[in-house]
Structure 1
Amino acid sequence: MKAIAYKITAVSMALLLLATTTSWKVEKHFCMGHLVDMAFFVDAQDCGMDMVSESDSVATIDKKSCCDDEVIAIEGQNDVRPSFNDIDVEQQPFLVAYTYTYLGLFEPIAVQNIPHKQYIPPKIVKDIHLLDDVFLI
């Protein structure tokens, strides 16, 4: 149960880190008030009806286009690297002790020598408790 909780926590923290560091962009293209295209992470395709304003030498007339673009962008976090300059003097002994004990978990266990491993136990021929009349009460 404890191992499953650790795995769920690790996966959820990894997904949270991925979600916060990724930049999200949703772009929508409307033509005459109707949604034509919607795209995630890339530019939406236009309908091809964008009006190009032509500039005359005398005056420039801006005509309002029938198309609208809507962009929803969320910038991701870029500074996720830990800064080792922020470690205080009080935190250094803790980090050293934690690292030492963590690395100590992975040391190989010494093989124990069992001297009577090759010997088989003797076969019981008679029940000693009945012969000696010794019973547990």
Structure 2
Amino acid sequence: MIKEGLHKVFSMALALLVLISTVSFTIEKHFCGDVLIDASVFAEVERCGMESAEIQYKKSCCKDEVDVIQGQDKLKSSSFEDLDFKQQQFITVFAFVFKNTFKSLSQQVVPHKNYSPPILISDIQVLDQVFII
């Protein structure tokens, strides 16, 4: 039971690791001067409203930064056929031995499992005065 639970936990952890390492996203930031006005990951950033003043004076105090975090594009997928013959042979033998090492034991038959002892009318040891010392 614990083995199955650990297997599920490790499988989920590895799946999340692959998912996180392959996801790409951008972080957009809007600065007005040196002050950060808004930062956003999935939506558009809110502007400070100085765009109309920039058109009149042709001087920009606002700037936008876009940070792109690239995920991994190249995942290596290999198959059993990519290995040479000795490696294939080793993996096959190892898997066979590992599988057969943990075979469950057969259930042992207990012949007197449902046997009920006879009803004692009197204690024979007390009647015969025979005690183990």
TM-score range, shorter chain: 0.5 to 0.7
How much has 1:107 moved relative to structure 2? 7.7
Alignment partner for residue 78 of structure 2, among 75, 79, 83? 83
1:40 Cα deviation (Å)?
A: 1.6
Report the AA paired with residue 26 of structure 1: I
CA offsets 1:79-137 (integer angstroms, 9 cap, x no match): 335222542333212332454466669988766554444432333455555547352x6
- The answer as to 2:92 corresponding to 1:96 is yes
Provide closer, same or farther for how the CA distance between residues 128 and 82 of structure 1 changes in structure 2, counting only shifts above 3 A: farther
Segment drifting more, 69-78 vs 98-107 = 98-107
Q: Please say if 1:36 is aligned against 2:37.
A: yes
Structure 2 residue aligned with 1:119, among 115, 118, 122?
A: 115
Contact 1:25 1:42 survives alignment (8 Å): no
Letter in 1 for 2:115: Y
Tell me the matched-pair count. Answer: 124
- Separation (CA, whole Å) in 2 of partners of 1:105 and 1:78: 40
Q: Which runs of 5+ in 1 are unaligned?
A: 53-62
Percent identity reads 36
Unaligned ranges ≥5, structure 2: none
Relative to structure 1, is the Cα distance of residues 34 and 107 closer, same or farther in structure 2, using a 3 angstrom cutoff? same
Look up the SS of the partner of 1:120 in the other structure: coil
1:133 aligns with 2:98: no
Q: CA RMSD in A?
A: 4.1
Tell me the TM-score normalised to structure 1 length.
0.56
Matched, 1:16 2:17: yes
Structure 1 residues 24, 110: CA separation in 2 closer, same or farther (over 3 Å shift)? same
One-letter identity of the residue aligned with 1:74: I
Richer in helix (by share)? 2
